[in-house]
């Protein structure tokens, strides 16, 4: 009997082949980064979170989860603190695009026809789109024109009502949420052993000018590396986020992939 797991790489190849050859089983690919997340969390937050969302969604819709992309595009100062900070280890855009293109084409070769890219690192966004575009173009050259790919970031499923519950004192916006309430709450719910909340630094969000400068000005980024305070984070808020985001993604894939 084949092993029951949502993770594609944990299957023996004949079991994987039976699942995907006909094209009915979607593949979920988490895409993250190695990026500093303040003094209180590890640097693979952007890998752990999309992987867990992908696992929960896969179990709900009968999909499989591919191994995650553990490196992502360069951290932007206004959304991730900046690529200059120690520990943040990034790819050039062309590298990420090429790797993603290759992986999509390989899954198509296996028979996969439905893919969902679950993003956990904001800066990956446009490079994901480029990788998909190049892969689909090359697959069409090979006569494969029935692929469907969904791209999503889990935080986009947090609606206004949930934001009001999570941020009763006001919401500064997703661009300043790096290492703040959302990510810290999710990590407290899922991986409390990896969160040292007593080391979190409480500070006001930075005020960035409406332009960028390169090389970056390190003084623009709070010394903590976070862009907002995690002081209001809690495991309870993490559970709310898990329910809202997982449900939203499941509904999206049921609509787009016609899965149950």
Helix 13-20 with 93-110: angle, nearest 10 deg: 80
Instruction: Give yes or no: 102 in active site.
Output: no
Q: Which of 44, 46, 52, 177 is catalytic?
A: 46
How far is CA 168 from its chain centroid? Answer: 25
Q: Which of 40, 52, 177, 183 is catalytic?
A: 183
Q: Which of 35, 40, 44, 52 is catalytic?
A: 35
CA atoms of 167 and 143, how far apart (whole Å): 49
Q: Which of 40, 44, 121, 177 is catalytic?
A: 121
Instruction: Give yes or no: 44 in active site.
Output: no
Q: How far apart are the first and last CA of the chain?
A: 24
CA atoms of 49 and 52, how far apart (whole Å): 5
Instruction: Give yes or no: 256 in active site.
Output: no
Instruction: Give yes or no: 123 in active site.
Output: yes
Q: Which of 15, 37, 175, 232 is catalytic?
A: 37
Q: Which of 40, 52, 123, 177 is catalytic?
A: 123
Contact in structure between 96 and 126 (CB atoms under 8 Å): no
Query: Which tokens in the block code for residue 61?
Result: 């819709």
Instruction: Give yes or no: 239 in active site.
Output: no
DSSP of 185-197? HHHHHH-GGG--G
Instruction: Give yes or no: 84 in active site.
Output: no
Contact in structure between 135 and 101 (CB atoms under 8 Å): yes
Instruction: Give yes or no: 178 in active site.
Output: yes
Q: Which residues are catalytic?
A: 35, 37, 46, 121, 123, 178, 183
């Amino acid at each position: 009997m084949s092993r029951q797991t949502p993770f594609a790489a944990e299957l023996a190849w004949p079991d994987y082949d039976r699942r995907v050859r006909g094209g009915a089983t979607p593949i979920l690919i988490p895409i993250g980064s190695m990026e500093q997340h303040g003094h209180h969390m590890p640097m693979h937050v952007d890998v752990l979170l999309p992987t867990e969302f992908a696992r929960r969604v896969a179990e709900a819709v009968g999909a499989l989860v591919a191994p995650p992309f553990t490196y992502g595009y360069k951290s932007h100062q206004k959304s991730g603190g900046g690529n200059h900070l120690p520990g943040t280890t990034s790819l050039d855009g062309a590298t990420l695009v090429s790797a993603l293109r290759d992986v999509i084409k390989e899954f198509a070769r296996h028979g996969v026809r439905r893919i969902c890219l679950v993003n956990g690192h904001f800066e990956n966004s446009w490079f994901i789109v480029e990788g998909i575009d190049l892969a689909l173009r090359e697959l069409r050259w090979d006569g494969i024109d029935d692929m469907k790919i969904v791209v999503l970031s889990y935080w986009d499923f947090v609606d206004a009502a949930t934001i009001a519950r999570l941020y009763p004192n006001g919401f500064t916006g997703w661009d300043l949420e790096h290492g703040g309430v959302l990510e810290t709450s999710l990590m407290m719910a899922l991986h409390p052993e990896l969160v040292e909340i007593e080391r979190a630094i409480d500070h006001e969000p930075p005020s960035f000018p409406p332009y960028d400068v390169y090389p970056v000005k390190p003084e623009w980024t709070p010394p903590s590396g976070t862009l907002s305070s995690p002081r209001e984070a809690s495991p309870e808020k993490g559970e709310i986020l898990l329910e809202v985001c997982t449900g939203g993604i499941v509904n999206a894939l049921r609509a787009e992939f016609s899965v149950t």
